[in-house]
Copies of this chain bind each other. A is one copy, B any other.
Amino acid sequence: MAHANPRTSAGTPVPSRATLADVAKRAGVSRSTASRALTGRGYAAAEVKARVLAAADELGYVPDANARSLKARRTPTIGLLVSDLRNPFYAEVAAGAGGVLRAQGYTIVLVDDAGSDVEEMAAARTFLAWRVAGVLLTPVSASATQFLVRNGVPVVEIDRQFCRGECDAVLVDNVTAARELTRHLIQLGHRRITMITDEVEWTTGAGRLKGYRQALAEIGRADAEDAVLCCGFDPERIEKETSELLSRRRRPTAVFASNNLVAEIVWRQATRIGLRIPNDLSFVAFDDSPWMSMVQPGITTVAQPSEELGARAAALLLNRMAKPGRPRTTRLDCPLIQRGSTARPARRTRK
């Protein structure tokens, strides 16, 4: 249903607060004058201005943002849609964006869509209803973005891209980073490298897969398609398939986890099974996460500049709101961080 009324809220109406009219009356001027005195737009005699300001202070007047937005048909508000706040990656993206936006006087309306495209679409409707000035999102489908763009809302896709050419995007260079990471393993002498990933369809999964393949192609191993373990998003399934993979007699000498969630599961399984890293298994991950620098040995990763991703996206959005133009895609680099989880493969794997 397209217009199910968004739950007309609960509770009682807020207790009446001072309005502009109250301030005006107390200062003995008209609403127009009070407005001018408070906003500083238009003429207001210094003496009158002081009186109005004083009246406002005494009444604890706080202008009603809804009324203001209604009249202005524009709100100093940005919609922010992420997939899962509990994942440090998204939390940092949100923090990065929040810093920039708050500094510019914008308020954030936050929605966590739990990775569901239905929730994502619902959030898009909410944003539109609030007439937000722009939207930042880590998309899980194309539809929400398209819906917003069609309705004239500036949108910036973050981390993943579903609507290339239709809106701005701030991504990381998944291909290059994944290639570097894989090359690193290859240089150490690894040949049986399995990539474990949840998906290979989105720009993230696809890009990382591509980089991984490129590196393998450089040593003539492009055909090793069976070396990719794509498990979907269900943690239990990832757990099961990983465990199965690592328990094989002829298991890979190195694994490449495609993001921090997968990495955590893989690492736990490897540890549980008793594989010593890096002696028995080299381990790399895409997307640095706090624990990766704390476990022993530390995990070799490419670090996504997650906070910067959010900050850049916010800056780009503000720019785009100021002056429309052709959509641009920004791609940030992910530095390779070498820690102790990678080493030469053990000799026993030689045939």
Set of chain B residues within 8 Å of A66, measured between Cβ atoms: 66-67, 69-70, 75, 130-131
What 0/1 readout, one digit per residue, does chain A (296-333) give for beta carbons within 8 Å of chain B? 10000000000100000000001001100000000000
Set of chain B residues within 8 Å of A76, measured between Cβ atoms: 6-10
Between A and B, 29 residue pairs with Cβ closer than 8 Å are: A2-B53, A7-B105, A9-B133, A10-B321, A10-B322, A11-B133, A15-B152, A17-B151, A17-B152, A62-B129, A64-B70, A64-B131, A65-B126, A66-B69, A66-B70, A80-B110, A85-B91, A85-B95, A85-B98, A86-B92, A102-B111, A109-B109, A110-B110, A264-B294, A268-B294, A289-B290, A290-B291, A294-B295, A296-B296
Q: Are A108 and B111 in contact (CB under 8 A)?
A: yes
Set of chain B residues within 8 Å of A73, measured between Cβ atoms: 13-14
Distance (Å) between the CB of A249 and the closest chain B CB?
Answer: 26
A291 partner, pick from B67, B154, B295, beta carbons under 8 A: B295
Nearest to A9 among chain B residues (CB) is B76
Q: How far is the CA of A34 from the CA of B92 in the complex (A)?
A: 44
Q: How far is the CA of A15 from the CA of B148 in the complex (A)?
A: 12
A112 partner, pick from B84, B95, B111, beta carbons under 8 A: B95
Q: Are B91 and A129 in contact (CB under 8 A)?
A: no
A45 located at the interface, meaning its Cβ lies under 8 Å from any Cβ of chain B in the complex: no
Q: How far is the CA of A119 from the CA of B62 in the complex (A)?
A: 17
Q: How far is the CA of A97 from the CA of B81 in the complex (A)?
A: 16
A39 located at the interface, meaning its Cβ lies under 8 Å from any Cβ of chain B in the complex: yes
Q: How far is the CA of A86 from the CA of B92 in the complex (A)?
A: 5
A294 partner, pick from B9, B86, B105, B291, beta carbons under 8 A: B291
What 0/1 readout, one digit per residue, does chain A (68-84) give for beta carbons within 8 Å of chain B? 01101111100010001
Q: A111-B107, A126-B107, A322-B11 are in contact. Are A65 and B6 (CB under 8 A)?
A: yes
A88 partner, pick from B70, B88, B151, beta carbons under 8 A: B88
What 0/1 readout, one digit per residue, does chain A (101-134) give for beta carbons within 8 Å of chain B? 0101111111110000001000001101111011
Set of chain B residues within 8 Å of A109, measured between Cβ atoms: 107-110
Highest count of chain B CB atoms <10 Å: which of A3, A94, A112, A289: A3
What 0/1 readout, one digit per residue, does chain A (148-186) give for beta carbons within 8 Å of chain B? 000111100000000000000000000000000000000
Q: How far is the CA of A248 from the CA of B268 in the complex (A)?
A: 35
A251-303: which have CB < 8 Å to B? 264, 267-268, 289-291, 294-296
Q: A38-B5, A131-B64 are in contact. Are A11 and B74 (CB under 8 A)?
A: yes
Known pairs A88-B88, A91-B91, A291-B294. 4 more at Cβ < 8 A?
A11-B321, A62-B129, A80-B110, A107-B111
Q: Are B129 and A64 in contact (CB under 8 A)?
A: yes
Distance (Å) between the CB of A120 and the closest chain B CB?
Answer: 12
Nearest to A306 among chain B residues (CB) is B86
A12-38: which have CB < 8 Å to B? 12-15, 17, 38
Closest 6 CB pairs of A and B: A7-B105, A11-B321, A9-B76, A15-B152, A291-B291, A110-B110
A60 located at the interface, meaning its Cβ lies under 8 Å from any Cβ of chain B in the complex: yes
A193 located at the interface, meaning its Cβ lies under 8 Å from any Cβ of chain B in the complex: no
Set of chain B residues within 8 Å of A95, measured between Cβ atoms: 84-86, 112
A196 located at the interface, meaning its Cβ lies under 8 Å from any Cβ of chain B in the complex: no
